[in-house]
Amino acid sequence: MICLARIRLLLVAALLFSAAAATPALAQKLGPDGAPNPTASVTPQRDLLMQAPRIEGRIDIPDRKASVLIQPAGRTWDYFHEVLLHWGAAVVILGTIVLLGAAYLIMGRIRISAGRSGRTVLRFRAFERFSHWLTAVSFVVLGLTGLNITFGKIVLLPLIGPEAFSEISQIAKYVHNFTSFSFVAGLVLIIAIFFWDNLPAKVDIEWLKQGGGFIKSKHAPAGRFNPGEKAVYWLSLTAGLAVSISGFLLLFPFYETNIAEMQLAQVVHAVVAVLFIALILAHIYIGTLGMEGAFEAMGTGEVDINWAKEHHDLWLAEQLEKLGTRQSAPAE
Amino acid sequence: MARMKFLCDADRCIDCNACVTACKNENEVPWGINRRRVVTINDGKPGERSVSMACMHCTDAPCAAVCPVSCIYPTDDGIVLHSKDLCIGCGYCFYACPFGAPQYPQVGNFGSRGKMDKCTYCAGGGGTEAPSSAAEFEKYGSNRFGEGKLPLCAEMCSTKSLLAGDGDIIAQIYKERVLKRGYGSGAWGWITAYHEDVNV
Q: What ipTM goes with this model?
A: 0.94
**CA A160 to CA A183: how far, in whole Å?**
29
Per-residue model confidence (pLDDT) at position A32: 63
Nearest residue to A82 (alpha-carbon basis) of B111, B92, B75:
B92
Report the percentage of chain A scoring pLDDT > 90. 73
**CA B200 to CA B164: how far, in whole Å?**
19
**Weakest mean pLDDT among A27-41, A155-169, B100-114, B123-137:** A27-41
Determine which helix (DSSP H) or strand (DSSP E) holds B129, and give its type and residue range.
Answer: none
Q: Domain ranges in chain A?
A: 194-315
Mean pLDDT for A205-233 is 88
**CA B6 to CA B166: how far, in whole Å?**
9
User: Which residue among B67, B96, B185 places its CB closest to the CB of A74?
Assistant: B96
Provide the 3-class DSSP secondary structure of residue A268. Answer: helix
The reply to whether residue B98 touches residue A71, judged by beta carbons under 8 angstroms, is yes
Banded model confidence at residue A215, pLDDT cuts 50, 70, 90? confident
User: Which residue among B47, B90, B95 places its CB closest to the CB of A42?
Assistant: B47
**CA A112 to CA A30: how far, in whole Å?**
89
Could you read off the pLDDT of B84-111 as tens digits, one per residue?
999 999 999 999 999 999 999 988 788 7
Could you read off the pLDDT of B141-157 as tens digits, one per residue?
999 999 999 999 999 99
Per-residue model confidence (pLDDT) at position A219: 85
* B197: chain A residues, CB-CB within 8 Å: 46
Class of domain B4-194: alpha beta
The reply to whether residue A59 touches residue B37, judged by beta carbons under 8 angstroms, is yes
* A28: chain B residues, CB-CB within 8 Å: 183
Instruction: Tell me which amino acid residue A134 is.
Output: L
Is the pLDDT score of A233 beyond 80? yes
Q: Which is higher by pLDDT, B47 or A235?
A: A235
Is A48 part of the contact surface with chain B (CB cutoff 8 Å)? yes
Q: Domain ranges in chain B?
A: 4-194
The structure's pTM equals 0.88
* A68: chain B residues, CB-CB within 8 Å: 39, 100
Question: Which residues, numbered 70 to 109 in chain B, qualify as contacts with chain A under a Cβ-Cβ cut-off of 8 Å?
Answer: 70-71, 85-92, 94-100, 108-109
Is B114 part of the contact surface with chain A (CB cutoff 8 Å)? no
Per-residue model confidence (pLDDT) at position A24: 40
* A170: chain B residues, CB-CB within 8 Å: 88-89
Could you read off the pLDDT of A47-95 as tens digits, one per residue?
888 888 999 999 988 888 999 999 999 999 999 999 999 999 999 999 9
Architecture field, domain A194-315: Up-down Bundle (1.20)
